[in-house]
With several copies, the nearest count.
Chain A
Amino acid sequence: MTVDTVGQAKESPVQEQPFKELGLKADEYERIKEILGRRPTSSELAMYSVMWSEHCSYKSSKVHLRQFGEKAPHSDALLVGIGENAGVVDIGHGWAVTFKVESHNHPSYVEPYQGAATGVGGIVRDIISMGARPVAVMDPLRFGDPHNPDTRRVLTGVVSGIGGYGNCLGLPNIGGEIVFDPSYQGNPLVNALCVGTMKHEDIHLAAASGVGNLVILYGARTGGDGIGGVSVLASETFDADGPAKRPSVQVGDPFMEKLLIECTLEVLHSGLVEGIQDLGGAGISCATSELASNGEGGMHVWLDRVLLRDHTLSPEEILMSESQERMCAVVLPDKVEEFLAVCKKWDVEAVVIGEVNASGRLTVDWHGEQIVDVPPRSVAHDGPVYERPYARPEWLDARQSDAPTAQRLARPTTAQDIRETLLRMVAAPNLAAKTWVTSQYDRYVMGNTVLAQPEDSGMIRVDEETGLGVAVSTDCNARFAALDPYRGAQLAFAESYRNVAVTGAVPLAVTNCLNFGSPEDPAVMWQFEQAVTGLADACLDMGTPVTGGNVSFYNQTADVAIHPTPVVGVLGVIDDVNRRTPMAWHEDGELIYLLGDTADELAGSEWAHEIHAHLGGLPPVLDLNKERTLAEILVAGSRDGMLSAAHDVSDGGVAQTLVEMALRADIGARVWVPDNLDAFVFLWSESATRAVVAVPRSEEMRFSAMCEARGFTSTRIGVVDSKIGQEHAVSGQALRIENVYGAEVTLALSDLREASEKTLPALFG
């Protein structure tokens, strides 16, 4: 095997190089030559090409993402901000949490099981590399038309992949999303979120400091996995007829990852590590250049020492390989032995591959010959930055003026219509029970899961002594973002924020995964710019900093892009998880209140989508001040024991919220439509900033006084009543809605349950 050395590159300055095939543009290639003062070696070219890919360099998104830093609200809780593997927030009592969401969209379309599995694996390593113990995962997912046969292939594979990896790793899955929309047909979204906890003193950063320190690569052996996957797989649009490229995919080994977690936490807690970095996209290229760039700026690597699974790999391939379950640590020379002993204990292979030096260069040798000599910053951080053109698409006006008025879309007008609509909506794939999926995930492992799906947020007990805990939710109604990306992103944030507050936790910090079409399309780029601006503005306003996230572009088939899908994750803290507010009401006589105002807002709603396949108009209005007040009420209600249940109102409106609370409790209720509202609008409008709560009778005065004092609308709309079925000749528990166009609707919970639970098994079982 002949290798292209630095010496040869100097001697033969002119040579054809396959930069185009590697995804580099001509001017990018020229810049590399300028940086180096010569042509790159083939290994250098490999490194630059993966590190300058969209996925690793954020070259199209960087100019916009800056807003998250520039508009970051001051927060005493923020210990580590954007730019590290994951942000870290202080939650008190010496504890800190880190959380982040990442996408694995394209690989999951090609090989759903492994794509989703390695998505979980990747985000978990980001969390470990901060020094935290991963304690939970969540999985926001988007699929195409539920009736399209390919959706079955993708969904069943993705779900088993997430379960297969997460269950075997021993991380409880505490929430996520499953949304169907034809816009995702060829571009499913598989986002994975991980939460980790640590004591403040355990926070670690990815930096190679200390001249003479050694760089250890440990974990799985390096094979030919996903070579070029980062630049080719993650950044190129699929042909209209599917995954023609069949790129090599990565296969995950959750057992190895479990060992890697235990081994890493042990070396960190034993004080054996100066800096640490996970290997994700761009593998060794990324880890070495980032470590060096974040440290004193010099590192030498003996690439031939890397333990290989496949001995035929070339140095270029080793540099680019995306083999999973690997980590890199920077260790003091006199601690190397101890480090290796811990690895041995956990059956994890490890080898010293490099040394930190003061050269200011990243140099790589292959069997004694130098094949890389670059300034590490130029690889890791000073990649190209694009100011891509963006423009509001012309078609948006037509879409926004196509509002779902009663004239355009037929609405139910009688009690009988309402009853039928209710049964149909409850069974809609987007609203139906997701148990068929979530029962494939372990929610109990680690024994600290306080709330998990289908609750509004997942909640984890962090400290068994004090009951300190965190709640996390992820949300996004992409139809809202398709109607107005600025407001859509804010609505996604608001929903997630509310979902955390509903459980009684105080929202603290934000992560996001921005899933969009091609950045080369000015309309998509506009959506992106608007969504980032909307989210950054909202976070500033609400005092919750963005701590990290991920961008996924090119979710597009031919020239049709997915709905812009800015998934927002909010993390909140609760000082005693025993005071959490669950979504199920509890007992007879509790009063049911609707908090917030309801307007005729059905654009982008689940009703318009499910019943009329309609998308048009303007999304619901959002007032962040009100959102903050609602959250304060919900948190105070939990803290002072004024609430026995609370549930956010979003997809499917108040109707869906009531059904879910009743089914979760298996206790019926009597509800009435307020006199000032149309029954249909009351039930299915998706106005923002609302929640339904159950208040024990003894707390009614105190609770309504609190709402009033804060100027927040609270409307009594019902009462929990386990006898209501009996009284109206329904067997078992029932939900009764009165004042519906002069009549009543009474539905057995068993019928609602059946409607809700049969949908997913019928489609995918």
Chain B
Amino acid sequence: MVRIVVDVKLKPEILDPQGRAVLGALGRLGLSGVSDVRQGKQFVLTIDGEVTDEKLAQINHIAETLLSNPVIEDFTVQVQK
């Protein structure tokens, strides 16, 4: 059983209203010194059996086409054993 973690983040130049809302709330809660907050998504895929190179390529493709939208987002794929 292998876990694959795909992190998806908005590209830095894209406005992140959620992050901004959290930043505002942090201020109200008295946490100072935070200059930026960005909110991202994380997908944890549990895979039965082995993760071959071919499967990893497939997962990368899916991360690029389904799990993220390259017009506005970047992603990373990590394998955890």
With A111-B72, A114-B72 in contact, do A309 and B24 touch (Cβ < 8 Å)?
Answer: no
A248 at the interface (CB under 8 A from B): yes
Contact B72 A220 (CB under 8 A): no
Contact B15 A225 (CB under 8 A): yes
With both beta carbons as reference points, the residue of chain A lying nearest to B20 in the complex is identified as A253
CB distance from B3 to the nearest CB of A (A): 18
CB distance from B44 to the nearest CB of A (A): 16
Contact B15 A255 (CB under 8 A): no
CB distance from A705 to the nearest CB of B (A): 59
B17 at the interface (CB under 8 A from A): yes
Instruction: Choose one: A114, A220, A250, A255; the contact of B21 (CB below 8 Å).
Output: A255
With A111-B69, A111-B72, A347-B24 in contact, do A256 and B17 touch (Cβ < 8 Å)?
Answer: yes
- A contact residues around B13 at 8 Å (CB): 223-225, 248, 310
- A contact residues around B24 at 8 Å (CB): 347
B40 at the interface (CB under 8 A from A): no
A110 to B16 CA separation, bound complex (whole angstroms)? 19
Instruction: Choose one: A110, A249, A251, A310; the contact of B17 (CB below 8 Å).
Output: A251
Counting contact residues on chain A (CB < 8 A from B), the size range is 20 to 34
Contact B15 A246 (CB under 8 A): no
With both beta carbons as reference points, the residue of chain B lying nearest to A312 in the complex is identified as B13
Contact A111 B71 (CB under 8 A): yes
Contact B17 A246 (CB under 8 A): no
A255 to B13 CA separation, bound complex (whole angstroms)? 20
Contact A246 B70 (CB under 8 A): yes
- B contact residues around A324 at 8 Å (CB): 15
Within 8 A of B (CB), among A239-259: 243, 246, 248-253, 255-256
Contact B72 A251 (CB under 8 A): yes
A323 at the interface (CB under 8 A from B): yes
- B contact residues around A253 at 8 Å (CB): 15, 17, 20
CB distance from A148 to the nearest CB of B (A): 15
- B contact residues around A249 at 8 Å (CB): 14, 71-72
A536 to B24 CA separation, bound complex (whole angstroms)? 50
Instruction: Choose one: B10, B17, B69, B72; the contact of A255 (CB below 8 Å).
Output: B17
Contact A251 B71 (CB under 8 A): no
A324 to B20 CA separation, bound complex (whole angstroms)? 14
CB distance from A344 to the nearest CB of B (A): 13
Within 8 A of A (CB), among B4-38: 10, 13-17, 20-21, 24
- B contact residues around A225 at 8 Å (CB): 13-15
A548 to B13 CA separation, bound complex (whole angstroms)? 34
- B contact residues around A256 at 8 Å (CB): 17
- B contact residues around A243 at 8 Å (CB): 71
Chain B 57-81 near chain A by CB (<8 Å), digits 1 or 0: 0000000000001111000000000
- B contact residues around A310 at 8 Å (CB): 13
A114 to B17 CA separation, bound complex (whole angstroms)? 12
With both beta carbons as reference points, the residue of chain A lying nearest to B14 in the complex is identified as A251
A249 to B10 CA separation, bound complex (whole angstroms)? 12
Chain A 206-240 near chain B by CB (<8 Å), digits 1 or 0: 00000000000000100111000000000000000
With both beta carbons as reference points, the residue of chain A lying nearest to B73 in the complex is identified as A111
A249 to B72 CA separation, bound complex (whole angstroms)? 7
With both beta carbons as reference points, the residue of chain B lying nearest to A110 in the complex is identified as B71
- A contact residues around B71 at 8 Å (CB): 110-111, 243, 246, 248-249
Instruction: Choose one: A110, A111, A309, A347; the contact of B15 (CB below 8 Å).
Output: A309
CB distance from B53 to the nearest CB of A (A): 27
Contact B15 A323 (CB under 8 A): yes
With both beta carbons as reference points, the residue of chain A lying nearest to B10 in the complex is identified as A251
CB distance from A567 to the nearest CB of B (A): 26
With both beta carbons as reference points, the residue of chain A lying nearest to B18 in the complex is identified as A253
A246 to B70 CA separation, bound complex (whole angstroms)? 8
A683 to B32 CA separation, bound complex (whole angstroms)? 49
- B contact residues around A255 at 8 Å (CB): 17, 21
With both beta carbons as reference points, the residue of chain B lying nearest to A221 in the complex is identified as B15
With both beta carbons as reference points, the residue of chain B lying nearest to A246 in the complex is identified as B71
Chain A 246-290 near chain B by CB (<8 Å), digits 1 or 0: 101111110110000000000000000000000000000000000
CB distance from A125 to the nearest CB of B (A): 16
CB distance from B79 to the nearest CB of A (A): 25
Within 8 A of B (CB), among A282-311: 309-310
With both beta carbons as reference points, the residue of chain A lying nearest to B65 in the complex is identified as A153
CB distance from A158 to the nearest CB of B (A): 14
Most buried by A among B14, B15, B20: B15
CB distance from B48 to the nearest CB of A (A): 15
With both beta carbons as reference points, the residue of chain A lying nearest to B17 in the complex is identified as A253
CB distance from A495 to the nearest CB of B (A): 36
- B contact residues around A223 at 8 Å (CB): 13-15
With both beta carbons as reference points, the residue of chain B lying nearest to A256 in the complex is identified as B17
With A255-B21, A347-B24 in contact, do A220 and B70 touch (Cβ < 8 Å)?
Answer: no
A670 to B17 CA separation, bound complex (whole angstroms)? 46
- B contact residues around A246 at 8 Å (CB): 70-71
- A contact residues around B69 at 8 Å (CB): 111
- A contact residues around B10 at 8 Å (CB): 251
- B contact residues around A250 at 8 Å (CB): 15
With both beta carbons as reference points, the residue of chain B lying nearest to A254 in the complex is identified as B17
- A contact residues around B20 at 8 Å (CB): 253
Chain A 323-339 near chain B by CB (<8 Å), digits 1 or 0: 11000000000000000
Q: What are 27 A-B pairs at a CB distance below 8 A? A: A110-B71, A111-B69, A111-B71, A114-B72, A220-B15, A223-B13, A223-B14, A223-B15, A225-B14, A225-B15, A243-B71, A246-B71, A248-B13, A248-B14, A248-B71, A249-B14, A249-B71, A249-B72, A251-B10, A251-B14, A251-B15, A251-B72, A253-B17, A255-B17, A310-B13, A323-B15, A347-B24
Residues of A within 8 A of B (CB): 110-111, 114, 220, 223-225, 243, 246, 248-253, 255-256, 309-310, 323-324, 347
* Extra 12 A-B pairs, beta carbons < 8 Å, given A223-B15, A248-B14: A110-B71, A111-B71, A223-B13, A223-B14, A224-B13, A246-B70, A248-B13, A249-B71, A251-B72, A253-B20, A310-B13, A347-B24
Name the 7 nearest CB pairs between A and B, nearest first: A253-B17, A251-B15, A224-B13, A111-B71, A251-B14, A246-B71, A249-B71
